[in-house]
A and B are shown apart, each in its own frame.
Chain A
Amino acid sequence: GENVEQHPSTLSVQEGDSAVIKCTYSDSASNYFPWYKQELGKRPQLIIDIRSNVGEKKDQRIAVTLNKTAKHFSLHITETQPEDSAVYFCAASRSGGSYIPTFGRGTSLIVHP
């Protein structure tokens, strides 16, 4: 089955800095890679996703890059704000069929004002 590794487990930055979270996956057939944000005590929410036919996707301060050859993908947050503080999860899955994502263990991002 799929195995997703996520690093770092904790990331502490100053407001305004950039933050990068990296994930690797094992199943070369995986072709859909979502990122979820989970604030303390709240439900996970999708913030951005990328499919394997695209190398990069951007949405305002958030971007995701994908390297299919190396089987890794990354989340980039620029100009971080205190409200970005949360746990971020990457996931990998095969699109089509049941689409069941395998999640990483999460990265706790702390943005200091």
Chain B
Amino acid sequence: DTGVSQDPRHKITKRGQNVTFRCDPISEHNRLYWYRQTLGQGPEFLTYFQNEAQLEKSRLLSDRFSAERPKGSFSTLEIQRTEQGDSAMYLCASSSSDLGTYEQYFGPGTRLTVT
């Protein structure tokens, strides 16, 4: 499968612990997005990278959340001091600014459960 991949697929953690998720986008895609999705809701934007530069962050994004894309390839999303309200599906998506299309390709997501 040459699509977007995410690891892990599931994560259960205790409140207060730190967690880190990884996203590997489609190799030629220079844009990478992180979203959060809760039951009954559409994906909610968290942050966006173009190559290695983090160009936008949601105003709703707590300072406990940080994301990196060090070499413009894979990205990590870290949540520090997790809270029960952080329980959600975290989706990564990638796209290319070079193809004249805005289509985003989503990964399978990481389901986080904070107990």
Q: State whether B102 touches A104 (Cβ < 8 A).
A: no
> How many Å lie between the Cα of A37 and that of B23 in the bound state?
21
Contacts of B25 in A (CB 8 A): none
B82-115 interface code vs A (CB 8 A; 1 in, 0 out)? 0000000001000100000011101111000000
> What number of B residues sit within 8 Å (CB to CB) of A?
22
Interface residues of B, Cβ cutoff 8 Å to A: 4, 31, 33, 40-45, 48, 50, 55-56, 91, 95, 102-104, 106-109
Pick from B33, B56, B91, B102: contact of A43, CB under 8 Å = B91
Q: State whether B40 touches A43 (Cβ < 8 A).
A: no
**Counting CB contacts under 8 A, is A98 at the interface?**
yes
**What is the CB-to-nearest-CB distance from A41 to chain B, in angstroms, rounded to a whole number?**
9
> How many Å lie between the Cα of A3 and that of B41 in the bound state?
13
Q: State whether B43 touches A103 (Cβ < 8 A).
A: yes
With A100-B33, A100-B48 in contact, do A44 and B102 touch (Cβ < 8 Å)? Answer: no
